[in-house]
Each structure stands twice: as structure tokens, then as C-alpha cells.
Structure 1
Amino acid sequence: MSREFLLPDLGEGLTEAEIVAWLVAPGDVIAIDQAVVEVESAKSIVELPSPYGGVVASLFGEPGQVIHAGQVLLTVADAEAADAGDAPGTPVAVGVPAAMATAAPTEGSGAVLVGYGTTESTRPARRVAAGRFGAPRAADAPAPAAPSAPTPPVAVTRAERPTEVAASVSLAAVSSADVSPSTVDPIRRSPVVSPIVRRLARENGFDASMLAGSGRDGLVLRSDVEDHIHHLSMPAAMPGAVLPAVPAQPSAPAPAASDVNADIRIPISGLRKVVAERLTTSRREIPEATIWLDVDATALFAARDQLLSATGERFSVTALIARFVVAGLRQFPVLNSSVDNASQEILQHGAVNLGIAAQTSRGLMVPVIHGAHAMSTRQLRDAIAALVAQSQGGTFAPSALTGGTFTLNNFGSLGVDGSAAIINHPEAAILGIGRMIERPWVIDHALAVRSVVELSMVFDHRVCDGGTAAGFLTYVARCIENPVSLLADL
């Protein structure tokens, strides 16, 4: 009996995803809810768990291929049927616990995304697959060791089993003390959980699972991959030194001289496609207006320094302005709205879910801080810092990219003074922060050098008039010029 695992509905209207990496290979024994494939949707990168347990019969699709909801990802056969149907030359798993190898799968878990699985306590500990689709996987490559097995299990054929098991024993005799953590071993299979770690290794020409992980239970950490990359970049060793062997990677042919001026076609897909559709919808549906204001931010920097002296904690300027924005939305709640075109109503949201525009390796993304209105300045600072840390890899959970009610865009970090930003549909407004630089400023009829920032605000003219938008903008500006004024509204 064979069961098909179809690409599930990823939510938020997403109907397609790109295969990033397979976490299993044909012949592997998997358990219910075990992660089997890593896919990248327009929102984020997720690992999909299999709703069935058994033996992986076949995989459909290669890394880089786009698949649609409802398409078959892989097929899973009953373990008993797979054992009964083995013929000479058919791959089997050696060293797999007997209970897992002989038990036929029961009902599927219904799992569709990570975190949606069975509610029973039968879920086994996650096991990293012996290999990946599209990666070097020789017939004699060992699968990961079971917890009770003294030596790594080896994927072999029935005809080759005696010689392969012997090879496995000889490899197990090598002392682990003789292997450097930064050494790439083609037959090693260390557990790797983080998609960022796997991607970083792939981009530098090796498989992260071939390293000896320094984490718990041999888990490969990002620092392990970075150490090996540094090791690869070191000058050639002195005569007699032994360097770790790196698996050969197929090299792409060098482009011809005539290709330098050739046209390049860049597909509008994935995240780029979703962003393009949202921006187009915003321009088409929203009658927007833009206002801007130059603000003296000298006192804001002084307040930041005073916070550091008083608490010993650092508060970024972005975090402080975000706190002013949340307070301003409480003063002008209509800006925390969206327009329901179907009912022709303005939906004024009770909670402030603050979006923070971020430039990531995957493109422009707007992760959301949900419930920002209920946060203290310290909590808001920590939430923004967490988003900034995640933005480096662009691996946000789908829930972190939805539900925003107002967006803050610090394009000053890109080195520009101002911008007429596009509203993040279906929100009603967006506030931009330009770069903060020293400029001449008039104070009491005299010139002075001050730290000045330009605020620009774009709003939906259907939701409010210019007076409301100007009131919000000047409120935020007043808080920047005199942060103590916020105390009156706390």
C-alpha cells in the first residue's frame, strides 16, 4: 500500500512553493510528523512533516523546482510491504530499530505545517535523513545512527550487504579524536536543523551534515559551518600537513566574453511576485497623499544616552520612535485602519500590530510586532531586535508576516533622506524615517548645528483627511524633539 503526501495549503492565499532541500531519500524509514522536505513559499521557509509513516518510495521534484498545492511531494509505502517486496539490489535500511522497521503506519496525523501534528505522545524524536535528493548519496553512505546502535547504520543493497557492513565496521573503528570538527567527511551524517546553516554550507560548496557538529547530540551549528568556511579560506598548509577533503562540486562553465552584455531574464516569482502584486494593488486601489516634516532629533539622542546611563541598557533610535508611533496611533486611531472594499467600510483596528519594513536576503519583507500597543518600551525594543536578527536570513514564520495594521519604514539606514513610500496594502498609512545627519538649524534666532531627521508619511485619503495625518505626524515629531512630552500621555 502506497500513500501520497500532497503539498498542503500553506495559508494566506499561497498556492505554490519552491523545494529548498529534501530531508529524506527513497528507502528511508520515516515516522508520522517527521520533517521530510524544506520548502520556500512567498512568505517564509518551512519544513513540512509527513502525515504518514513508513518507507519513502519516491520523491517528486528537485531542489529549486516550484510545485503547487495539491501536487504529490512523495509517496510512502508500508514498511512491511517494502520489506516483503525487496529483491536483490533493492535498497533497504540497515540498523533501523526493529520497532520502526516492522510497524506499518496507522492513520495519518493530518500534519500540514511544522507545529501542526498529532496530539498523541507517539511522536518520535526527529531523525535527520541519511541523505538528500540532489546531494551526493552513494549506495554505501551510512544513515544516521539510531540511539541504541553502537555504529552508524548503512544504506546497502541485499546483494552488497556483507561488504558494506564490513566497511561500516572499519569506519567505526576510527577514533573520533582523530577527526577535526571542521573536517568534511562524505560519509558522516550529523544532524542539521537550521535552514540557514544548511543554506550557508550549500552556498560555500559543501554539505553541513558532513561536519562534526559541536552542538548537543552532534548538532551542526552555524558556528561550525563558519569555522569550516574560514578554514577553507586559509592559505595552503605547510608541506606534510593534512587538510580536510572537500567533496568535489561540479563547476559551472565560465561565461563567454560575449555573455557580459547579454540580456538577463529574472522571473517574477515567490516573494518577488507577492510583493509586486501587493504594491500594484496599493497603487491601484489607494488614493494616497504624502506629507513630510524635518525634525530636530538632538534631544532624542540625549534621551537615548540618559536611558543607557540610568538602566545600563541600550535603546535604539528606531525602538524609541516606534514607541512614539504606537502612542500616536492611540491619539489618532483612525490611522490604525484598513478599508473593506466589499462592504465599503473603514475597519478601525483595536490592536496596534506594528509592521517593520526590513530589507532581507530574500527581498523586502514586513514582519509584524503583534500587540505593540500593550508593550513597554523595553519589550518593543526587544521585539524589534529579534526581527532585525531574523531579517538577515529572511526566515520568518508565516504568522510573523501577516496581520499588520501600520508600518514603520526606516529607509534612513539605506542612506537616503526621504521617500514617498507605497502603503503596505491593506493598511491605511506608513511612516518613513530618513537618515539622521547634522544640519544647520535655527534656535532662538541663531544658527546651531543639530541632528535632523526627515519624517515622511503616506496615508489613504479615503480613511482620513490631511488634518488628521498632519496631527499624527506633528505628534510624533514633538515626541522626537522633546521625548519627555510623551510622559503626559502614558
Structure 2
Amino acid sequence: MSQARVFLLPDLGEGLTEAELVAWHVSVGDTIVVDQPIAEVETAKSAVEVPSPYAGIVTELHGKPGETLDVGKPLISVTPLFTGVAGGADADDAAPAPSPDDHAASSMSSGSGRPDATPGAASSAPAASEAAAETYREEEKAGSGNVLIGYGTPGGHGVARRTRAPKAALSVVEPVETKPVNTTEDDLSLLRTRVPGKLGAVISPLVRRMAREHGVDLGGLQGSGDSGLIMRRDVEAAISTPAVEPAETRRTPAVEPVETKTADPRTGLAVSARTPVRGVRKAVAANMARSRSEIPEATVWVDVDATALMELREGLKAKGGEAPGLLAFIARFVTAGLKKYPELNTRIETAEDGSQEIVSFDGINLGFAAQTERGLVVPSVRGAEKLSARELDAEIRRLTQVARDGKATPAELGSGTFTLNNYGVFGVDGSAAIINHPEVGILGVGRIIDKPWVVNGELAVRKVTELTLTFDHRVCDGGTAGGFLRFVADAIENPTSLLADI
């Protein structure tokens, strides 16, 4: 019996140390190929489908949906299908792979003692086994090139190459050692689980042992695998289903149990639910707590007359063109402001000896807060200083949709250098936002509403919004923060001065 290869949960990017197991795409006993998605996990930044770097039979799943797994810990164990392939398994130890005509490969030794044996099968078995093993080796070499930290497949063409061996090669798999055929209780159980009309729809020894230990009659089970193959999940379902007592022996309890809720010791109220903090919510909580504990933040704000910006946008729409969204216009003003006040586009790094450095960047990755079903995430527009308002609008829309679909990459969610937060969409005017660690500033935009405003000495009704800047006081003082905020406010009040590139 060969040793199973254990696939460890890889580093999914950005140095993440854990991931929540959302769902398995395979079960124990399933036959998988290289690059086949085996599980969906949710990191602190996105949902990811993990492909298998190995092909073979799934022998163990290391975790249950909802559990948090550490990077570098076992995720799945896979036993190779054939001997001579990376320490592959005996034919009697692995569930058979289906052949092109949907007939599963038999795990019984060839020869006259086998009911479906054919003349000459014994002499051709070694060659057939080697051909099948070669096919297996070719499939493992045909990966798509998916790169997982610590793993990888060499292909790189996007689709795994499947090479089929001749039908005879897949119909017989010979064990390394020839053993006399003994009719045992286990062999009888094996034969009883054949599907009529199929040559080798049998169960693996692992599943047979589980059934034997729990007293499950395999002859009465309907397999859920290919060609009626009985899988581990079928036996587990039979174990978990209680036997039905005869009607005359069943008793009805005199008192029905009443579900009680645990009382909270502090409030005395019943606890209605407990929700684990994990996934995106766990990452947000940790990041916000770190920001509050490490960053000495300060906040400045200003009311802004956005009437001219609103009129500019309406004018573009009236001309029949596609007008960028208001957030894209403000993003354009923010990138111009960060060029003038680069102190707010930095990061503080602390060395092991406690010394600190302010790290400046040659470029701006502008993050923006996006609300999704999985919680608040902050995708970032990379190289935002190079983009026009229209280009910023297109990228913001793309990243918002990707984030809401849960498909944003770690690089898209963890590379920002400054964050723009439009909380006005929630109907609020202002907020003392928490800085997105390890950045040093975040600009919030409130709702745009009609307010009385003095224009040229006269009172008028104008479209007014509030800008709020929260900044790390270690990297700059109030003069720099106020200068940046005033720059963005002036650009909103006089948008044509900065929007020649729209």
C-alpha cells in the first residue's frame, strides 16, 4: 500500500497566515486530477478556490466547513492511483478510475479465477498496468501552471491536458505482488457491492473497513459515486441514520424536552445567537484594533460647495457622453492632492530595535471602501495618479464588482497607500473614520445635500458636502493635513481647473 501525499494549505498571497474552509468540492474516495478545484477557502481578503497539485484518490479531508485552517497545515491527503508513480498505491488500495466507456477498472487480480477474466489477460497485465501508469504520469505533468506557494504545476496553458490510455490499459491494474485469491467475508462483501452490468464498481478498502467496524451492510447501500461506486459519504450517511424500531417497540416519551436558551450572566437576558468572528469580519476587526492602538490619529474637516462639480457632471451627461461618477472625480482630486502633499501617501515601519522609518512611495495606490455581503473591504486602484477621471471611474466600478463577487485578489485588496471613503451613500454627513492600517490617512466624503450658502455676498441654496480627513500625526502636522484637505475642497468647488484630462 502506497503512502498518501499530503497537500498543505498554501500561502495564498500577501503573507496570510490562515483561511476559513468554506466548502469541500470533493469527498473521501473521489478520484481527482491535477488542477481540479478541491475546496473553497475564505482568507481575510477574498474567497479562493484551491486547486490540487496531485492526482489520485482522496483519502482524507483535514478540516470541516467553518473551521479556520493555518497556512502550512494539512488540507487534503491524496493516494496515487498507480504503482511506480511517486510512490503510488497498489491496485487493491485505491478506488478504480473509470475507463473511457464508463466501466470502472477492477481491483481484483487477473487470471482464470476471476469471473470476468479473458484469455491472455494475465500475460498482458504488466504492460497494461505500465501503460495506465504512464497515462497517470502524463496527466500529473499537464498542470495549468497554477502557482501555490510551496507547490506548482508545470503546464501553464490554462487547461489541464488529459491523455487517455488504450482501453485495455485502463481495464486491468495488476498489484505489485501476486497474492492467492482467498474467498473471505470481505471479498464477499466486495462482490455484493458490484453494480449490475458494470465490471468494477467496487468500494475501497478504507470504506469497507469503516462499514465493517460500524456494522453497515454494504449490500443494501446505493452508491453515490460514478457507476454506483459506494463512497465514504454513503457509509457515513448509513451510520448517522438510526435504525427504525418496529412500531410495537417504540415508546413515546411522557414529557417532550423543551429547548432552553442560556442566560447571559451580565444582563440576565437569554442569548439568542452566537456568531463566530471570522473571515473578512475577523480581519477588519483585527486591523481596526491595531490602527486604534498604534496610530495617534487626528481629524480635520470642512464643508464644501459641490454645486460646480454637480453641474459639470450634468453637462457631460447632457452631451450624450458617459459621465464619470462623483467618486471618480473626487479620486482624481485626491491623487493630485497627494502629489502635492506626499507625506500623506506614506507608511511607518518599526524595526525590531524599536526604531521607526517613514516609507515614501513612487506612485499612488488609491484604496476605496466597498460594502459587500461579506463585509467592508478596501480594494485599491494601482497607479491611480496616472489615470484620468474616466479611467478611474472604470477601474473603481470593476474593482467594486470583483469585491462583491468575492473574487478580488490579495494584491487588489491589500496594496493601498491611501483610502477614500464615500460614506455619504449611507445618508450620513460626516464620520471620524479609522485609518486603514498601515496607511497614514483616510478621506471621508459625506452626502451632498441642499444647504444655505453665501455666494458673492448673497444667500443661495447650494449643493454642499462635508470632507473629513483622519491622519497619522506622526507623519505630518495639522498644517500639512489642512493644506491637503483645502486643496481637495478647492478642486471640488472649481473642478475645471484640474479636469482637463477627463
TM-score with structure 2 setting the length? 0.67
RMSD in angstroms over aligned alpha carbons?
Answer: 3.6
| Post-superposition CA distance 1:222-260 (Å, at most 9, x none) | xxxxxxxxxxxxxxxxxxxxxxxxxxxxxxxxx969689
> Does the CA contact (< 8 Å) of 2:142 and 2:161 recur in 1?
no
> Does the CA contact (< 8 Å) of 1:52 and 1:107 recur in 2?
no
2:401: which partner in 1?
389
2:176: which partner in 1?
none
Overall identity of the aligned pairs, in %: 50
- CA, structure 1 residues 273+122, in 2 after alignment: closer, same or farther (shift >3 Å)? closer
> Does the CA contact (< 8 Å) of 2:34 and 2:160 recur in 1?
no
The question of 1:368 aligning with 2:368 is answered no
- CA, structure 1 residues 329+61, in 2 after alignment: closer, same or farther (shift >3 Å)? same
The question of 1:103 aligning with 2:135 is answered yes
For residues 469-480 of structure 1, the aligned pairs below 5 Å read 469-480=481-492
The question of 1:468 aligning with 2:501 is answered no
Alpha-carbon distance between aligned partners in 2 of 1:126 and 1:61, rounded to the nearest angstrom: 30
The question of 1:271 aligning with 2:275 is answered no
The secondary structure found in structure 1 opposite 2:498 is helix
2:53: which partner in 1?
51
> Does the CA contact (< 8 Å) of 1:404 and 1:427 recur in 2?
yes
> Does the CA contact (< 8 Å) of 1:46 and 1:113 recur in 2?
no
For residues 292-303 of structure 1, the aligned pairs below 5 Å read 292-303=301-312
- 2:495 aligned residue (474, 483, 487): 483
The 10-residue stretch of structure 1 (389-398 or 299-308) with the greater mean CA deviation from structure 2: 389-398
> Does the CA contact (< 8 Å) of 1:50 and 1:111 recur in 2?
no
> Does the CA contact (< 8 Å) of 1:338 and 1:346 recur in 2?
yes
1:426: which partner in 2?
438
> Does the CA contact (< 8 Å) of 1:80 and 1:102 recur in 2?
no
- CA, structure 1 residues 122+300, in 2 after alignment: closer, same or farther (shift >3 Å)? closer
Alpha-carbon distance between aligned partners in 2 of 1:337 and 1:23, rounded to the nearest angstrom: 42
Deviation at 1:420, TM superposition (A): 0.5
Deviation at 1:13, TM superposition (A): 3.6
1:380: which partner in 2?
392
Q: Gaps (5+ residues) in structure 2?
A: 106-130, 168-189, 202-223, 227-257, 263-268
- CA, structure 1 residues 113+360, in 2 after alignment: closer, same or farther (shift >3 Å)? farther
For residues 71-86 of structure 1, the aligned pairs below 5 Å read 71-81=73-83, 84-86=90-92
The question of 1:307 aligning with 2:316 is answered yes
- CA, structure 1 residues 328+310, in 2 after alignment: closer, same or farther (shift >3 Å)? farther
The secondary structure found in structure 1 opposite 2:284 is helix
**One-letter amino acid matched to 2:10:** P
**One-letter amino acid matched to 1:14:** L
Deviation at 1:311, TM superposition (A): 5.9
The question of 1:94 aligning with 2:98 is answered yes
Deviation at 1:116, TM superposition (A): 7.6
Alpha-carbon distance between aligned partners in 2 of 1:121 and 1:459, rounded to the nearest angstrom: 44
> Does the CA contact (< 8 Å) of 1:79 and 1:103 recur in 2?
no
- 1:451 aligned residue (463, 466, 472): 463
The question of 1:118 aligning with 2:150 is answered no
**One-letter amino acid matched to 2:317:** L
1:21: which partner in 2?
23
- CA, structure 1 residues 124+320, in 2 after alignment: closer, same or farther (shift >3 Å)? closer
Alpha-carbon distance between aligned partners in 1 of 2:41 and 2:392, rounded to the nearest angstrom: 31
> Does the CA contact (< 8 Å) of 1:48 and 1:112 recur in 2?
no
2:411: which partner in 1?
399
**One-letter amino acid matched to 2:403:** S
The secondary structure found in structure 2 opposite 1:404 is coil
| Post-superposition CA distance 1:295-330 (Å, at most 9, x none) | 111111111122223461131111111111111111
Alpha-carbon distance between aligned partners in 1 of 2:134 and 2:478, rounded to the nearest angstrom: 71
- CA, structure 1 residues 335+96, in 2 after alignment: closer, same or farther (shift >3 Å)? farther
Alpha-carbon distance between aligned partners in 2 of 1:294 and 1:116, rounded to the nearest angstrom: 53
- 2:331 aligned residue (297, 304, 322): 322
- CA, structure 1 residues 123+386, in 2 after alignment: closer, same or farther (shift >3 Å)? closer
- CA, structure 1 residues 57+102, in 2 after alignment: closer, same or farther (shift >3 Å)? farther
Deviation at 1:394, TM superposition (A): 3.6
**One-letter amino acid matched to 2:98:** V
> Does the CA contact (< 8 Å) of 2:11 and 2:148 recur in 1?
no
The 10-residue stretch of structure 1 (473-482 or 260-269) with the greater mean CA deviation from structure 2: 260-269
Deviation at 1:10, TM superposition (A): 2.8
The secondary structure found in structure 2 opposite 1:80 is coil
- CA, structure 1 residues 100+378, in 2 after alignment: closer, same or farther (shift >3 Å)? farther
> Does the CA contact (< 8 Å) of 2:141 and 2:153 recur in 1?
no
Alpha-carbon distance between aligned partners in 2 of 1:83 and 1:348, rounded to the nearest angstrom: 55
The secondary structure found in structure 1 opposite 2:329 is helix
Alpha-carbon distance between aligned partners in 2 of 1:333 and 1:71, rounded to the nearest angstrom: 42
For residues 175-186 of structure 1, the aligned pairs below 5 Å read none
| Post-superposition CA distance 1:162-190 (Å, at most 9, x none) | 43759x9xxxxxxxxxxxxxxxxxx999x
- CA, structure 1 residues 419+115, in 2 after alignment: closer, same or farther (shift >3 Å)? farther
Deviation at 1:454, TM superposition (A): 0.4
1:38: which partner in 2?
40
**One-letter amino acid matched to 2:153:** T
Deviation at 1:463, TM superposition (A): 0.9
- 2:421 aligned residue (392, 409, 418): 409
- CA, structure 1 residues 158+371, in 2 after alignment: closer, same or farther (shift >3 Å)? farther
> Does the CA contact (< 8 Å) of 2:11 and 2:149 recur in 1?
no
